[in-house]
Structure 1
Amino acid sequence: MEAPKSYIGLSKFDLASKMQDAYQISPSWSNVKLRGEFDILQIMDNVYVPKEAGDTGKVLEPITSYYPEYGKGGYPQLKTNSVIEF
């Protein structure tokens, strides 16, 4: 399995609803019911802190906070433009 151009959460949750709340994910974007583990070395040269507004804004957002309407946020996130292989 693989995921192209993905956001990466550093915390593990047992419930999709908790993941959605922590990473402020709209149900229209994802049901967050798939969790994968992978070797970070495969993307280490192409990982960065995304910007606000879905990586289109001007301010870096290392901790989720931009979409309070979708959850509490407060968790670290990264992003890659590489394909992640699980």
Structure 2
Amino acid sequence: MDSGRANDAIISGEQYTTYIGFKKYDSASQVKDAFQIADSWSDCKVRGEFDTLQVIDDLYVPTTKGNTTAIPEPITFSYPEYGKGGEHQLRVDKVIKFTNVDFIGDYKNE
């Protein structure tokens, strides 16, 4: 999650979420590299954990180029200019109730 837009997740424990992954990273730079995330999209400094049963019926495999094509992208590869990719991803497009929300390392200072 982007720290600038994480107020709902931090205060209420809920936030609208699009892309999710399953590996727990301890640094924002690792997240950005694995999910190929541009600086302008997110700083990836906030991590949320949640029970997947609440989204099981809503999960789907996103498509390439930000879910705008017909080419499935279950493992990140669309944006090599933003990182090496290779991470499993799904989309959910709904409000998620988090069991834990915390901050992780600043990718610019690592």
What is residue 38 of structure 2 aligned with on the other side? 26
Q: CA deviation at 1:3?
A: 2.3
Q: d(CA) in 1 for partners of 2:42 and 2:93? A: 18
Q: How does 1:33-52 map to 2 (within 5 A)?
A: 33-52=45-64
Question: Is residue 16 from structure 1 mapped to residue 16 from structure 2 by the alignment?
Answer: no
TM-score norm. by structure 1 comes to 0.95
SS in 1 for 2:30: helix
Unaligned runs of 5+ in 1: none
Question: Of 64, 69, 78, which aligns to 1:66?
Answer: 78
Unaligned runs of 5+ in 2: 1-12, 99-110
Q: After the TM superposition, which parts of structure 1 deviate over 2 Å for at least 4 consecutive aligned residues?
A: none
Aligned CA-pair RMSD: 0.8
Q: d(CA) in 2 for partners of 1:16 and 1:84? A: 21
Identity of aligned residues (%): 53
What is residue 55 of structure 1 aligned with on the other side? 67
* Cα deviation 1:23-57 (Å, max 9, x = unaligned): 00111000000001000011111000000011111
Q: d(CA) in 2 for partners of 1:33 and 1:77? A: 18
Higher strand fraction: Structure 1 or Structure 2? 2
TM-score norm. by structure 2 comes to 0.75
